[in-house]
Amino acid sequence: MLLKLKFKPAFIFLVILSVASFAWCETASFTGQVSADDINVRVDSTVTSAVVCSLPKASLVEVVSEAYDWYKIRLPKGAPSYVRKDLVECLNSDQVTGKCVSAKVIKDRINVRLSPNESGWIIGKVNNLTVLNIVSETRDWYKIQPVHQSFGWVNKKFVSKELTPLLKKAGPVAAEKEIKQEAKAEGQLILEGVISPYGVVLWRKATHKLVTLDNKLYFLKGERKSLNSLNYHKVKVTGKLITPQESNHPIIEVDAIELLN
């Protein structure tokens, strides 16, 4: 018994140290800016891991956590992402080509992979009833736009927390675009309600509206064909507010949408 008591303080110390190390690795999210050209986004926090895609200088990235010399980021829109066709159900097809343009996940926590095969790196997970935007298809796989819960890693030395205005280098149009992108990252929302078509609002392509359960109105900016396939259904929307919350016409940039009925 005395022997066990002797080692107990050391064990407690190791547990506390492990918890502290874990806490150090996890940080609050923020918007960062890439500081060099052609920076690799990798599947893991090592220089030998597979490359997901590369980012140009001045790109904005959403950092969700950190581990040692690396930042974990949400994958950019153009990153390659694939899901198996048999795990989703097509919701909407192109009227000309007949190819699927949006699909609903029919299993829970399916893998999103870097390449269209079972040996491809897992870069994200997606839940049952989530609606996916289809980019193309190849044999038994759909290439999709990256889902909200898909991530990669970037070395910290290439990401700055200080956002540099693009006005001097690329003119006012690029600067305005950067400001809008920065605003998107500030207000993550998860809302439930009924979706229906609307139209162009305040010079932005907010094509749909969402009436929440407490009868509040939001406008949605996203992939039109995917949103059309959900008209008059109850959905759960995850996205970023790109207008002030107190605005008469709050607009949400849709990151993910799930069908609830």
Residues 6+ apart with CB under 8 A from 78: 53
Question: Which of 91, 71, 83, 79 shows the shortest CA–CA distance to 55?
Answer: 79
Does the pLDDT at position 13 exceed 60?
A: no
Asked if 57 and 34 touch (Cβ cutoff 8 Å), the reply is yes
| Measured distance CA(204)–CA(243) in Å, rounded | 11
| pLDDT level of residue 259 (50, 70, 90 thresholds) | confident
Q: Is 135 exposed, middle or buried (0-12, 13-18, 19+ CB in 10 A)?
A: middle
pTM above 0.75, yes or no: no
- The answer, yes or no, to whether residue 120 has pLDDT greater than 50, is yes
Beta bridge partners of 251: 219
pLDDT tens for each residue of 35-83: 999 999 999 999 999 999 999 998 999 999 999 999 999 999 889 999 9
Sorted by where each starts, the structural domains of the chain and their CATH numbers stand as 24-80+147-160 (2.30.30.40), 82-144 (2.30.30), 167-259 (2.40.50.500)
